[in-house]
Amino acid sequence: MATIISPADRIAELFASEGASDYLGEPVTVAVHMLQAGFLAETAGAAPALVAAALLHDVGHLRGADPSADGLESSGKDLMAGTDNNHSERGAVWLAQWFPTSVTEPIRLHVAAKRYLCAVESSYFGRLSQASVYTLSVQGGPMSEDEALWFERSPWAADAVAVRRWDDLAKNLSADVPGFAHFRPLLESLLATA
């Protein structure tokens, strides 16, 4: 008889396994990075769905280690090797099994938000980490004017930009943030509304 694993358990596994590894040239692990982003959103008083989006924004980097994944998928290591792993799209699609668009669309657009901010804010590029500058080049670079106009028309643009800004700040080695268990009730409450 097959064991049914809850979505929260599947996500927790990713945080504990592949998420415990290096984060693509950053000083923290992938899991610590995502926990910091979720905590920054929570501290800012963001809506629950936006806290979840910040917490789960890089889950697409981890799908390669998910034993329940449907087929082999690439990981963040592919991105650092020069191949865009489309982690924002893959993560959003995977999470859409359980979560509403208010969680998945900011995740889907958080890479686009980086490209957008590089195009419209003159000081933004200079605040990116070295690893984010590299991944930007693999992900298409700053948006063109037409791409930026397209992005601005998305109903999820503001939420994606918010996730992106928390993403940029969530690389602090000395930050003290709660573990995954802290966010589990929030995630479970959103599962019920999907």
Flag whether 14 is in a domain: no
Percent of the chain with pLDDT over 90: 58
Here the CATH number for the domain that contains residue 116 is 1.10.3210.10
Distance CA 146, CA 139 (A): 17
Q: Examine the pLDDT at 80 and tell me if it is beyond 70.
A: no
Contact yes or no for 105/160 (Cβ under 8 A): yes
pLDDT for 23 equals 59
Among residues 193, 177, 157, which one has the least CA distance to residue 55?
A: 177
pLDDT for 68 equals 45
The 10 Å Cβ neighbour count of residue 71 is: 5
Flag whether 132 is in a domain: yes
**Segments forming the whole domain that contains residue 111:** 27-191
pLDDT for 66 equals 40
Q: Examine the pLDDT at 168 and tell me if it is beyond 70.
A: yes
> CB neighbours of 83 closer than 8 A, spacing ≥ 6?
74, 138
Give 112-149 pLDDT, tens digit per residue: 999 999 999 999 999 998 888 888 888 889 999 999 99
Give 15-62 pLDDT, tens digit per residue: 887 666 665 667 788 889 999 999 999 999 999 999 999 999 999 877
pLDDT for 2 equals 56
Based on the structure, what is the number of domains in the chain? 1
Percent of the chain with pLDDT over 70: 80
Flag whether 8 is in a domain: no
Flag whether 31 is in a domain: yes
Flag whether 6 is in a domain: no
Flag whether 2 is in a domain: no
